[in-house]
Amino acid sequence: MLLMSAALYSISSAAQETQYISDMMFVPVRSGAGSDYRIVNRGLPSGTALLVFTVSEDGEWTEIETRGGTRGWIPSQHLQKDPPAGLLIIDLERELEQVRGERDQVVSQLNLSSSEASEADETITELLATLESTRTELTEIKRVSAAALDLDSLNQQLVAELESERSDADLLRLENVRLRERIANNQMLDGALAVLLGVILAVVAPRLWPKRNRQDGWS
């Protein structure tokens, strides 16, 4: 047993780094580099971030530590350097919720004339369609995430769509600001015209009616 322990603990040095439990896994943590060692944690779920210390000489076991301070060994095959698909999906959903919130805020601020409102409605409809398409793609990713799906290209596409949606939201904000400035300028112009009209009436109106000659005494 001592010889086996010495062999299992012949460790190749490795720089500490963060790795993750791979998809669809609950991995037990053992007190040593082997399946015959005592279990110190019955199962770390998929997506758990771990601090990696060393790897056994045969490369089959890795010494790790959780953020909660649990330290032990797990099979190296259950570790991956990149966050699993489940975490990526959660991050993308959070991004989508933020974009939806920005979209709703822009929509609530739009108080446009009929023609300008129609143009804004078309833009908002396109934005809603894009969001629905992105939501559908996320649903599809969830459905097939357990299979060997290449998530990299889909993630890049989703990120690009999110950037496009942010740009659309920014354009809507800019359009709203410009419209409000235009409305304010029109109101100032209307007020100035009203004042000018009042001055003109005050000057011209008395001249439209002739003055009556006042006669004193008997004719």
Q: Write the pLDDT tens digit of every residue in 106-145.
A: 777 765 566 666 777 788 888 888 888 888 888 777 776 6
The pLDDT, as a whole number, for residue 21 is: 66
CA distance 203 to 197: 10
Task: Quickly state the pLDDT bin for 53 (edges 50, 70, 90).
Answer: very high
d(CA 20, CA 44): 10
The string of pLDDT tens digits covering residues 88-104 is: 677 777 888 888 888 87
Q: Each residue of 56-73: pLDDT tens digit? A: 999 999 999 988 899 999
pLDDT given for residue 49 in this prediction: 86
What is the pLDDT, as a whole number, of residue 139? 79
* Average predicted confidence (pLDDT) for the chain: 76
When pLDDT is cut at 50, 70 and 90, the band that residue 52 belongs to is: very high
Alpha carbons 54 and 153: distance in angstroms, whole number? 32
What is the arithmetic mean of pLDDT over 13-39?
Answer: 76
pLDDT per residue as tens digits for the range 170-199: 888 888 888 888 888 888 888 888 887 777
Fold type of domain 10-80? SH3 type barrels. (2.30.30)
Residue bearing the bigger pLDDT, 111 or 13: 111
DSSP SS3 for 139: helix
Length of the chain: 219
CA–CA separation, 94 and 104 (whole Å): 15
Q: How far apart are CA 169 and CA 143, in angstroms?
A: 30
Collect all residues with Cβ–Cβ distance below 8 Å to 107 and sequence separation of at least 6. 124, 172
pLDDT at 213: 53
